[in-house]
Amino acid sequence: MQIEVESLSEDMTMNIAEKYAKSITSPTVISLVGDLGAGKTTFAKGFARGLSIKDLVTSPTFTIMNDYKSGRMNLYHFDMYRLTSKEEALELGFGEYFDLRTLDGVCLVEWAENVKGLLPALFVEVTLTKIDENKRKIAFEVKGWVK
Ligand SMILES: Nc1ncnc2c1ncn2[C@@H]1O[C@H](COP(=O)(O)OP(=O)(O)OP(=O)(O)O)[C@@H](O)[C@H]1O
Ligand SMILES: [Mg+2]
């Protein structure tokens, strides 16, 4: 099942993400899909607000992961843009975040397509599509695999 909403501004995307975060339970992995500038990090900022995280949320482009532990649950925000494989992510010690038995909180993952196979058997995919300058389509879908 896919749920689609339309956002007409940066603020609206943050509000949608904020509302969604309020419904989330731990552990959950959420993949944020979308082109450069689609609004993935903007979504993460609103999501953090929904978990009552007061820290400034910035893009983890260089650190690959930023963690926020002051909210209703832990938030781990990843940007896999600079990685090229699941193995690379595992070498960096990120495996425990993508195993639902050890994850304590919620992962938001930008560019998960660069680390194929890392995500757990069940995750949520949020796809942001740029329609025009300020308009985005935001689609929510449960995804995963079975062996
Ligand atoms: N409806 C909207 N929702 C989200 N962002 C919007 C919207 N309209 C305009 N924008 C603008 O689009 C940009 C989105 O940037 P953001 O950093 O969130 O993208 P991103 O998907 O994380 O990109 P990257 O792949 O580079 O990390 C911001 O400059 C924001 O102001
Ligand atoms: Mg980003």
Instruction: Please report, for the chain, the start and end positions of each structural domain, with discontinuous segments joined by +.
Output: 2-144
pLDDT band for position 146 (cuts 50, 70, 90) = confident
For residue 36, which atom of ligand 1 is closest to its CA? 25
Asked whether the predicted pLDDT for residue 90 surpasses 80, the reply is: yes
Among protein residues, the one whose CA lies closest to atom 16 of ligand 1? 39
Fold of 2-144: Rossmann fold (3.40.50)
| 9 in contact with ligand 1, CB cutoff 6 A | yes
Measured distance CA(128)–CA(141) in Å, rounded: 12
**Predicted confidence (pLDDT) per residue in 25-63, tens digit:** 999 999 999 999 999 999 999 999 999 999 999 999 999
Q: Is the CB of 34 under 6 A from ligand 1?
A: yes
pLDDT in the model for residue 68 = 98
Q: Are 46 and 14 contacting, i.e. CB atoms less than 8 angstroms apart?
A: yes
Q: Is 68 helix (H, G, I), strand (E, B) or coil?
A: strand
141 lines ligand 1 (CB under 6 A): no
- In this prediction the pTM is 0.97
Round the average pLDDT of the chain to a whole number and report it.
Answer: 97
CA distance 112 to 118: 8
Ligand number nearest CA of 14 is 1
Q: What integer is the mean pLDDT of 1-21?
A: 97
Report CA(99)–ligand 1 centroid distance (Å): 29
Of 34, 108, 128, 96, the closest CA to residue 66 belongs to 108
pLDDT above 70 for 147: no
Is 145's pLDDT higher than 90?
no
The neighbourhood of ligand 2, an ion, using CB within 5 A, equals 40-41, 59
- Res 122: pLDDT: 96
